[in-house]
A and B are shown apart, each in its own frame.
Chain A
């Protein structure tokens, strides 16, 4: 795929490389933007869900009569009311729409209710009487591995398996269960169309896959269901899987009324997939200069009760288990276990986050062992363009400026960060726990690598349609805007290619356009952007050919200095171009995990500066600076927004975020005890964008959403280790891990 240079400079604002004001900014600022939770319809009913109170139990009986007897209740549905496919699932349809036979995780949906108002619906759901025979849940991932309760095993072997290093460092690491915790909870509205079909407006990252699963479970024809892109309050992976989508459509068709459902916060924690908790074992072999000779790894991630995307997350974790480093002898064994814990699936970083925590800790330990500094050891092992991926052997063809990331990260000045002895700036903040004398500081570095786009032979594509109308350029797409700024970027591409100043994105439903794929895997800028780029470029070429011109702008078609067709004449024709963009193909790996598995890569580095009150184990993350390989920053302000947001999620995983699951039950499904970083916890961030053309994305752009989460956690923990001398092999780091450690 060739890159194009930008169109010659014009007076248009909002071209690629600009940071135009968000088109949806004003409505969001005024509170007028319609999120799924804000939708309503005439004659609307409210839905609610009854969930299992047990992580593993046999359903002995279900009595819906008490619920139906409540005034205002219109429907109570169970598994037997699912007319089509009983199960759904992103990769494997293994999850029951409504439980029957057994419940396999705490919170699994058993029945759904539609009633006149939300309170009645929720009360009615609780009134359904379910008799359970409580069974003994499987909650330990190692035990699940032993019992072969697994969704997938990965085996990667590359190079001479007999290599042994002069320096051998072995370590085990653990990553707790993080949650995406988007501020908007799951919400949706399903409207029956009166002829047996339904329109669905629900929080989602991928409306076409929702459509597919709704069609299958409702036993309808594809044209009978339309899934509409809908305003969503953040996603971060939580909204790829179906949660309320099929339930809503079931209720709507059963009652012949529109049905709305909104999960409350605890239900949201329970009702969506989480980041896989992980246990990692590593054995790194290096020579005396710190060059990696061999890396052995065992990666165990707990997928919980149903498959979701565990298979792909495990693959990602395994393929990236070595990190952005060259190594010609690699052995990785991975397992994604099935337990009665809450199901896990996509969260920003998708497996690459967990292993980065492990491999970066290992790299620091090797450096310490041979007495060189953390950046130097990384320099000596840098993976870059032209090198084979250490795990898959795939030759890296995209620009991968790993050395430049390291060099520029080191060169970023250690800025005086306005830190004073004011307690607000010290660990503990306004809690006044700490005086300056109690504080030690530390600096930590980490690098991370992430694939962009889907892998392992996925048919990864996006369709976009560009029209030229009296309102300017319109980009039609089903690609979901979750806040990242896609609605800006696609319009910027259309403006740039067409030379038209007015451009806007129009979201259309699944019946009006083909799939744009998921808003995940940092892919939309590249694939939907790629489709938009081609469609706009094709449209421009056709318009110019039609009128014999060489330039198009708001005034019309020009040839040299002469306008050969005014825009009004141009618009006498209907102009539309639809493109389905596919990136270069990827393939499944062979039995040793070798192959051209990934579509693209991006690398990023983070440097964290922390203050630690060792006696109390309190941490203040002052700065997390970063350099990131972005290919081409199409919207610098939006890129910075992704970086700052992603870094803070990494900080959260490092020091405060964990879903505590005991005996299969989530103990803290609320914002009181699942702690999200507040503004007082946010570090200063300096971000340097490294732009190297050569990737297949439009203008050489690479996706930017995930790299900020990959190594930010590892950098923060590295900094805490430097400050305290404590090994810290688990995240999130808790005060007692520092204060009570034996070091």
Chain B
């Protein structure tokens, strides 16, 4: 069947078979390879996208359920050659090592800052608790967003 939705601001359609996940459709059919498949169980956050304004794991969303939805992926957060402030903050803080978890963190952090422009360190940690990083030990990631929170204060 064909599902239609808005993807990063553009109307998009995809032919999907149930029960394929939204993650699979994004990566394999729509060329949106930024969202990553690292566990397919919703345990790592590397597939995080915004679905109707809510941060979710796209590996746990059935693609047919995306019909009529508004979806934002990492590919849609920067524009005109400029990084989103979240991306800029991570870049400066050295919060990117292998980069596999990075798109997921970008989406989760954007979700955080959109709901809470001045998060405390505890807010940052709890909001990112669903995103696993194996390389950085999270130190630089926390510093990136503390810096950003300080700037937006």
List the interface of chain A (C-beta within 8 A of B).
Answer: 19, 21-22, 24-26, 28-35, 37-38, 181-185, 231-234, 236, 262, 264-265, 418, 422, 424, 430, 482-485, 637-638, 640-641, 643-649, 670-672, 676, 678-680, 682, 685
CB <8 Å contact, A234 and B135: yes
Seed contacts A31-B75, A183-B101, A670-B41; 11 additional CB < 8 Å A-B pairs = A25-B99, A30-B78, A31-B73, A31-B103, A31-B106, A182-B134, A234-B100, A265-B39, A644-B136, A678-B129, A679-B129
CB <8 Å contact, B103 and A482: no
Task: Across the interface, name the chain A residue whose C-beta is closest to B43.
Answer: A671
Q: How many angstroms between the C-alpha atoms of A19 and B36 in the bound complex? A: 28
Residues of A within 8 A of B9 (CB): none
CB <8 Å contact, B137 and A682: yes
8 Å CB contacts to A: which residues of B114-153? 121-122, 125-126, 128-142
CB <8 Å contact, A29 and B132: no
List the interface of chain B (C-beta within 8 A of A).
Answer: 32-41, 43-44, 46, 73-75, 78, 83, 87, 90-92, 94, 96-103, 106, 121-122, 125-126, 128-142
CB <8 Å contact, B41 and A671: yes
CB <8 Å contact, A265 and B41: yes
Residues of B within 8 A of A644 (CB): 136-140
Residues of B within 8 A of A643 (CB): 137
Can you list 11 A-B contacts (CB < 8 A)?
A22-B91, A30-B78, A31-B33, A183-B36, A183-B135, A184-B36, A233-B36, A641-B137, A644-B138, A671-B132, A679-B133
Give A3 Cβ to nearest chain B Cβ, in Å: 26
- The number of residue pairs between A and B whose CB atoms lie closer than 8 Å in the complex comes to 169
Give A488 Cβ to nearest chain B Cβ, in Å: 10
Task: Across the interface, name the chain B residue whose C-beta is closest to A118.
Answer: B28
Given contacts A29-B106, A678-B129, A680-B125, contact A24 B39 (CB under 8 A): no
Give A415 Cβ to nearest chain B Cβ, in Å: 14
Give A304 Cβ to nearest chain B Cβ, in Å: 22
CB <8 Å contact, A35 and B126: no
Q: How many angstroms between the C-alpha atoms of A641 and B35 in the bound complex? A: 23
CB <8 Å contact, B87 and A485: no
In-complex Cβ contact of B33 among A38, A184, A678 (8 A): A38
Q: How many angstroms between the C-alpha atoms of A25 and B97 in the bound complex? A: 8
Task: Across the interface, name the chain A residue whose C-beta is closest to B93.
Answer: A637
List the 3 closest pairs (A to B, CB-CB), nearest first.
A31-B34, A483-B98, A28-B99
CB <8 Å contact, B133 and A646: no
CB <8 Å contact, A685 and B75: no
Q: How many angstroms between the C-alpha atoms of A582 and B91 in the bound complex? A: 34
CB <8 Å contact, B83 and A26: yes
Q: How many angstroms between the C-alpha atoms of A681 and B126 in the bound complex? A: 11
Give A237 Cβ to nearest chain B Cβ, in Å: 12
In-complex Cβ contact of B91 among A26, A34, A35, A641 (8 A): A26
